[in-house]
Amino acid sequence: MRQFDLAPLYRSTVGFDRLFSALDGFVSTEAAPTYPPYNIERTGENVYRVTVAVAGFTEADLSIEVKENALTIKGERKPAEGKSAEVLYQGIAARAFERRFQLADHVQVTGAALENGLLHVDLVREVPEAKKPRRIEIASRPSSQPVIEGSVQQQAA
């Protein structure tokens, strides 16, 4: 696999260190985890859903955490109390797992639900008004004030 040297980008940019670290992580040589299987769906323009197959896990066995633009889903089955059955064959995976998803800026978790062995985590991207694009009209006379759509000057008029 090719190795990319991101050092020149680190030297000439400011504030993109998380992006470059993520790129470094994508080209790493270690194998990506395959358990548990999951889907990432786009259900609306700014609405997403992560669905993780967690057959055999209960709500008490699962934890969801969001920290610094990273969504972490952990699962660890606790042994059932009072059960002493001997398992002759175990085809249903019940091993502990930790699955991480890197979230873009302004993506928030809005809820989670466990149904039919699937954990659904709903996400929405809410871009603040200050970050949304604004239309600026070009004035025909240099002495007049420019009109900025959505600005306080326009609202006062």
Which residues face 148 on adjacent strands? 136
Residue 114 vs residue 134, higher pLDDT = 114
Mean pLDDT of 33-49: 89
**pLDDT at residue 95, as a whole number:** 85
User: Residue 29 gets which letter from DSSP?
Assistant: S
Residue 25 vs residue 92, higher pLDDT = 92
Indicate the pTM of the whole model: 0.64
Distance CA 5, CA 84 (A): 55
- Assess whether pLDDT exceeds 60 at residue 114: yes
Distance CA 80, CA 21 (A): 41
Question: Residue 142: what residue type?
Answer: P
Q: How confident is the model at residue 142 (pLDDT cuts 50, 70, 90)?
A: low
- Assess whether pLDDT exceeds 90 at residue 63: yes
Q: How confident is the model at residue 119 (pLDDT cuts 50, 70, 90)?
A: very high
Distance CA 128, CA 136 (A): 18
Contacts of 131 (CB under 8 A, 6+ apart): 106
**pLDDT at residue 89, as a whole number:** 86
Retrieve residue 61's tokens.
């066995």
